[in-house]
Amino acid sequence: MAVDRIYAIGDIHGHLDRLRSVHHWIDEDRNREGGKDVVVHVGDLTDRGPDSAGVLDFLIDGLAADQPWVVLKGNHDRMMSLYLESPAQHDHKLRSEYNWLSGPLGGLTTLASYGINTDVDDLEPLHDLAVAAVPEGHKAFLGGLDTMFRVEDTVIVHAGIKPGVAIESQVEDDLVWIREPFLSDTTDHGPLIVHGHTPVETPTHYGNRINIDSGVAFGGPLTVIVIEGRDVWNLTAVGRVLLRPVSEV
* pLDDT tens-digit map of 39-88: 999 999 999 999 999 999 999 999 999 999 999 999 999 999 999 999 88
> Whole-structure pTM over 0.75, yes or no?
yes
pLDDT at 152 over 80: yes
Residue 124: per-residue pLDDT = 87
Q: What pLDDT is stored for residue 103 in this prediction?
A: 87
Give the model's pLDDT for residue 8: 99
Asked whether residue 153 is assigned to any structural domain, the reply reads yes
Q: Write down the pLDDT at residue 78.
A: 98
pLDDT for the residue 249: 67
- Which residue pairs from 219-223 have beta carbons closer than 8 angstroms and sit at least 24 positions apart in sequence? 221/18, 222/9, 222/10, 222/12, 222/15, 222/18, 222/19, 222/21, 222/22, 223/9, 223/10, 223/22
Residue 141 is assigned to a structural domain of this protein: no
pLDDT on residue 248? 86
CB 49 within 8 A of CB 217: yes
Give the mean pLDDT of 195-216.
Answer: 98
Would 136 be classed as within a structural domain?
no
Q: What is the pLDDT of residues 86-136, one digit of tens each?
A: 988 889 999 888 899 998 999 999 999 999 999 988 888 999 999 999 999
CA distance 36 to 28: 14
Alpha-carbon distances, residue 136 vs 56, 85, 111, 132, 143 (angstroms): 12, 12, 15, 9, 11
CB 59 within 8 A of CB 77: no
End-to-end CA distance of the chain: 32
pLDDT given at position 70: 99
Q: Examine residue 120 and state whether it is found in any structural domain, yes or no.
A: no
Closest CA to 72 of 47, 39, 48: 39
CATH number at residue 10: 3.60.21.10
* DSSP symbol at 246: G
In this prediction, residue 67 carries a pLDDT of 98
CA 197 from centroid of its chain's CA atoms: 7
When the pLDDT of each residue in the chain is averaged and rounded to a whole number, the result is: 97
Mean pLDDT of all residues in 234-242: 98
* pLDDT for 138: 99
* Whole-number pLDDT of residue 76: 98
Number of separate domains in the chain: 1
Query: Is 70 inside a domain boundary?
Result: yes
Task: Determine, yes or no, domain membership for 239.
Answer: yes
- pLDDT for the residue numbered 2: 87
pLDDT tens track for 159-177:
999 999 999 999 999 999 9
Residue 41's nearest CA partner among 5, 64, 74, 82 is: 74
With respect to residue 98, please indicate whether it lies within any of the assigned structural domains: no
Owning domain of residue 64: 5-74+147-248
DSSP state of 102: S
Decide if 128 is inside a domain: no
**Per-residue confidence (pLDDT) for residue 173, from 0 to 100:** 98
